[in-house]
Structure 1
Amino acid sequence: MNQHQRKWLAIFLCMIVIMMMMPRPSLAKLPFDVRAKAAILIDAKTGKILYQKNAKESLPVASMSKMMTQYVILNQIKEKKLSWNDGYKAKKIDQLLSTKPGLSNIPLYQGEEYTLKELYDSMMMVSANASSRALGEMAGKTDQQFIQMMNETAKQLKLSDSHFVNTSGLNNKDIHPYEVKGTNPEDENHMSAKDLALLAYHLTKEFPNELAIETTKKKVFHITDTQVIEMVNTNEMLPGGKYPYEGILGMKTGMNEAAGHGFTSHAKRGDKELISVVIGAETKEGKPSSKARFMETKKLLDYGFKQWECKRVNPADYVQQPNIEKGKQETVAIATTDQSCIMIPKTTDQPIKGKLHLKEENMVAPIEKGQKLGTMELTGPTEQYLTTELKKQATIDIIAKEAVEKENWFILLWKSIF
């Protein structure tokens, strides 16, 4: 090797060393991959996103869309437009839909009477399609009006990637000729994983007591006065199911050809409460599978419970103490008014930072102990929320941990001169 070649080799090696030493952009790394078309995991208390995959993609979700039927019905009860004891006499359409082979159903025979509570329980436990249609008629008087109520509610809740054409989540071709007038003959309900998580968030926040049926493994349904059927919850993660999971509370399964197998779950352990959504779960071989939706849900929930911690916030860990003008000390120690914990990842390659928003640009003494100084928001790739409103709610009030007295006039004068 001649001198010229050695020179260029040295330059080349130096460039490699320099490139290796240069700071690299830190990218948020996913802890794992969920085998599904789309998935999301959130903190159920705040709507904070802990994991997401294709979360904004609007997809067929099958019976998980019954959660919107559920939400509208529960709102009608809250507004006293309906009650749990209201009766419903089954129609011919209910009998035809509920006895059609291949559909998730509890038989509703024409002329038989059922209570709203019975229909609601069968919809949530075993995804009864005719029961969801009957509930829609009870609330909206007609199928068409109830579908309009569902879509209007979606707009109110800011479910921007959702559209409903029936109460059940079936493809319209499966319920032909009973599809809602004005809808596409081959259309079906579409939602994104993020929208499902947001809907689940509202359900758990607004109707915590009404969700108890989702934890019931078995219950009897009276088809007639003399004929009963045992309903077995489709949620196999409940105690007694095939894949029991500690802390599971609900919520809804879904499955059809277009949607694949999906599950929206709600679970709680200690001070952590999570909501997960899986749409179109698959096996390692890439095949749709009922078991896969529960295994992928377990993967999400395990990640949330094991890799995140509910931690009380010490603002001093994230922001500097505010400067104080004309005080006997130049800074003031700070604390929070809220003693609740927030979800923080146990390990991350991108540290969480804080941003302090003071009520006044210049804080001037005297400052009283407990005086509100402003708010703090946490920033960084892990600080994502379902909506901007929930992000705003996540800001933390900051108060003075101590009093700061005003300096006497002589010292202030002295400081201004020197």
Structure 2
Amino acid sequence: MKIKQYRKYVASMLALVMLVGLFPSLNKAQAEDILNVNADGAILIEAETGRVLYAKNPDQVLGIASMTKMMTEYLLLEAIAEERVKWDQEYAVSEYVYKVSQDYPYLSNVPLRRDGKYNIRELYQAMTIYSANGATIAIAETIAGSEANFVKMMNEKAEELGLNDYKFVNSSGLNNSDLKGYHHTGNLEEENVMSARATAILASRLISDFPEVLDTASTPKMKFREGTDDMIQMDNWNWMLPSLVYGYEGVDGLKTGTTEFAGLCFTGTAIRNGTRYITVLMNAKDENGNNTDKKIRFDETRKMFDYAFSNFNKEELIPENYQVKGKKTLPVVKGKEGKVKIQTKEPISLVVKNGEKENYQPKLVLDKKKLNDKGELTAPIKAGEKIGTLTIEPVDGQALNFLTEDGQSKILVDVVAADDVEKANWFVLMMRGVGSFFGNVWGSISSTVKGWF
């Protein structure tokens, strides 16, 4: 290689190194996209703790289409639990619901009669299994009197659940232009939007607060109004349910969504051996950037489920009654005993990557209010009394990534006293005081004598 060419080569390499240094966040994002999920936004979490195992643009606000119905499901199941609505309660079809429900060649719907009456349970089944839009609006009107009022409830509930990056303009997830001129919130072309993170929080809370939703969401097929002239076959749009065309072991929910604005969306959940994962996929595409084949969203979701179930396992990292090395006991003053054992009240479990169980360490935090200036507890102490807390953290010091800010609390347990320590009586305390006094005097004399020599 000639000298001039060599210098150009070296200069080019140095420039490349400088560019890499200038864009560390880009490097990090590329390194983290280990699954190469083809979507505008995606997230994979373990449901119990909310630990995030994979994320792609998790905070970008995007269209959610019929994944909206998870919020409508939440508000309905809450109303049922609070007995504000009953399953056998009848709904008389409004003109608005009638017109939307008749648009079933283009929109997902069960056609409802204008003079018909339907109970809430069958409307809920139509919404949850078949994503029926007219039935969804009917539920909104039942709960709030009007869809406009219901949309206010949706946004208020989103704030209450701690969601960020969201906006609801209708109960169904349709574009407002599809609502037959009855839209009351937002402009004519608006749709509901959320981030993948916010969608995952909603799904997590829905499953946690109302697990019965999965009984319906996992139903692969059902006949609406079976045995009548209005009967219609409802096939679940979640084709990853085990008995359907793209079946995946353990999948039992949760909600698909498709509009031109939002693209192909899917919030999935699957459980195996007691561990549940939740995935969110927004505007899924194939490798060429196309989003016309509904199979794409299930292919991309499969990537995340395969990654979770193949590479992670739930491990007990801290057993119950665990004692931290070097801190198995604490000194006690004014007690019959001079020290007390401390231990965790409960175990700590977490999904960790296979072979990485040893990469986590305990972190003990003692309650300073319980200790004197010398780090001692003061008797009396009751067995089970909280002395502090213990959590786990990676050995390399990196923070664990959770869905919400309070996720760390899911791996935080109390550290308690293992035994009672009674307060010593006045005579014992007095004699200790006398002994301590003469011990100090003797120590002073000894030091002085040593100083002479």
Classify the TM-score, shorter chain: 0.7 to 0.9
Check the 8 A contact 2:348/2:413 in 1, yes or no: no
Is 46-55 or 380-389 further displaced after alignment?
A: 380-389
C-alpha distance in 2, partners of 1:330/1:301?
Answer: 53
User: Alignment partner of 1:313: what SS?
Assistant: strand
Check the 8 A contact 1:324/1:365 in 2, yes or no: no
Cross-structure match for 1:72: 75
1:179 has 2:183 as partner: yes
Cross-structure match for 2:402: 385
- Normalising by the residue count of structure 2, what TM-score does the alignment of the two structures yield? 0.77
User: Alignment partner of 2:167: what SS?
Assistant: coil
The aligned amino acid for 2:360 is I
Shift of 1:285: 2.1
1:321 has 2:321 as partner: no
Distance 1:88 1:230, change over 3 A: same
C-alpha distance in 2, partners of 1:41/1:174?
Answer: 31
1:344 has 2:352 as partner: yes
Distance 1:310 1:320, change over 3 A: farther
Is 285-294 or 151-160 further displaced after alignment?
A: 285-294
Shift of 1:320: 5.2
Distance 1:248 1:412, change over 3 A: farther
Check the 8 A contact 1:77/1:83 in 2, yes or no: yes
C-alpha distance in 2, partners of 1:89/1:342?
Answer: 49
Cross-structure match for 1:118: 122
Shift of 1:382: 5.8
Shift of 1:61: 0.6
Check the 8 A contact 1:322/1:331 in 2, yes or no: no
Cross-structure match for 1:214: 217
Distance 1:145 1:326, change over 3 A: closer
C-alpha distance in 2, partners of 1:224/1:213?
Answer: 20
From the CA coordinates, give the structure whose radius of gyration is larger. 2
Cross-structure match for 2:3: none
Shift of 1:114: 1.0
C-alpha distance in 2, partners of 1:186/1:300?
Answer: 32
1:128 has 2:146 as partner: no
1:274 has 2:288 as partner: no
The aligned amino acid for 1:186 is E
C-alpha distance in 2, partners of 1:311/1:251?
Answer: 26
Shift of 1:332: 7.4
1:159 has 2:163 as partner: yes
Q: Report 1:18-417 matches (<5 A).
A: 29-30=31-32, 31-100=34-103, 101-180=105-184, 182-222=185-225, 225-288=228-291, 289-314=293-318, 321=327, 324-325=330-331, 335-339=343-347, 341-347=349-355, 351-360=359-368, 361=371, 362-364=375-377, 371-380=385-394, 381=398, 383-400=400-417, 417=443
Distance 1:363 1:387, change over 3 A: farther
RCO (CA 8 Å, sep 6+): is it higher in 1 or 2?
A: 1
Shift of 1:378: 2.6
- Normalising by the residue count of structure 1, what TM-score does the alignment of the two structures yield? 0.83
C-alpha distance in 2, partners of 1:319/1:104?
Answer: 60
User: Alignment partner of 1:56: what SS?
Assistant: coil
Distance 1:341 1:377, change over 3 A: closer
Write the deviation string for residues 132-163 of structure 1: whole angstroms up to 9, x where unpaired: 11111111111111111111111111111111
C-alpha distance in 1, partners of 2:91/2:361?
Answer: 56
Shift of 1:215: 0.9
User: Alignment partner of 2:178: what SS?
Assistant: helix
Cross-structure match for 1:21: none
* Structure 2 portions without partners, runs of 5+: 1-23, 425-430, 448-453
User: Alignment partner of 2:267: what SS?
Assistant: strand
User: Alignment partner of 2:142: what SS?
Assistant: helix
Is 342-351 or 81-90 further displaced after alignment?
A: 342-351
Shift of 1:393: 4.1
Shift of 1:283: 1.4
C-alpha distance in 2, partners of 1:106/1:398?
Answer: 55
Check the 8 A contact 2:35/2:304 in 1, yes or no: no
User: Alignment partner of 2:53: what SS?
Assistant: strand
Check the 8 A contact 2:136/2:171 in 1, yes or no: yes
C-alpha distance in 1, partners of 2:331/2:344?
Answer: 22
* Structure 1 portions without partners, runs of 5+: 1-23
C-alpha distance in 2, partners of 1:285/1:320?
Answer: 58
Write the deviation string for residues 251-271 of structure 1: whole angstroms up to 9, x where unpaired: 100111111111111211113
The aligned amino acid for 1:201 is S
Shift of 1:318: 8.1
Distance 1:318 1:301, change over 3 A: farther
Is 225-234 or 87-96 further displaced after alignment?
A: 87-96
Cross-structure match for 2:12: none
